[in-house]
Structure 1
């Protein structure tokens, strides 16, 4: 395993819920249909982007959440809301990202993201 891969794997293990990190450590699992997607994510997203130290992981998480809200990528938001907290973002900052997104990505996208955040952060024990 190369240095960038090791760095990306370490980052993912810190970002993800413990059970997700454990699954990640097992390598590819599940159906073989489009089975290369995880490797593509590692090669094209996590290794080159998340390991670059130009932006810290907190900032990258806030940017990622913003983009996912705009894309209405709710399944990915379920992972990235708690990951953002693990990367140093606060609940108040995530709230502000949702509010900001309402003006630029639309109220329906922001409202749906709010519902995803409540569920995901609640399951992770990250809401007060």
Structure 2
């Protein structure tokens, strides 16, 4: 798992910046509550899944956003919207992901997603 953790941390740093990766490492290596979960997430999600070559990051962002919309995971939608932009999706493409989710996930789920996405855009715009 050490190799996947390092791979994941490197990818995380490319997307969110080196300071965020440094902070994540410090937390994952601490004895704080939830630190082991952070280590698992970094190794598994970023080190094993996001680092795979089967899909470009842009496409993987579309897939993950769609799943998070279906699950109504507003915090994850917020973070993955920011990540999607870093991975090359445009705001228009993110809106297309949102619109594609409407008939499959429903208006309530898409409304949750729209609010989380807008929050991400607003914070980026300052």
**TM (normalized to structure 2)?**
0.85
- Give the drift of 1:22: 4.4
Provide runs of 4+ in structure 1 moved above 6 Å: none
Q: Normalized per residue, which structure has more helix?
A: 2
Partner of 1:117: 117
- Give the drift of 1:77: 1.3
- Give the drift of 1:49: 0.7
Distance 1:59 1:100, change over 3 A: same
Alpha-carbon distance between aligned partners in 1 of 2:93 and 2:79, rounded to the nearest angstrom: 17
SS at structure 2 position matched to 1:80: helix
SS at structure 1 position matched to 2:28: coil
- Give the drift of 1:35: 2.8
Asked if 1:7 corresponds to 2:10, the answer is no
Distance 1:17 1:125, change over 3 A: farther
Asked if 1:37 corresponds to 2:49, the answer is no
- Answer whether contact 2:11 2:47 (CA < 8 A) is retained: no
Which runs of no fewer than 5 residues in structure 1 stay unpaired?
none
- Answer whether contact 1:16 1:79 (CA < 8 A) is retained: no
Which runs of no fewer than 5 residues in structure 2 stay unpaired?
none
- Aligned residue pair count: 125
- Give the drift of 1:68: 0.6
Partner of 2:76: 76
- Answer whether contact 2:13 2:19 (CA < 8 A) is retained: no
In angstroms, what is the RMSD of aligned CA positions?
A: 2.3
Alpha-carbon distance between aligned partners in 1 of 2:60 and 2:20, rounded to the nearest angstrom: 20
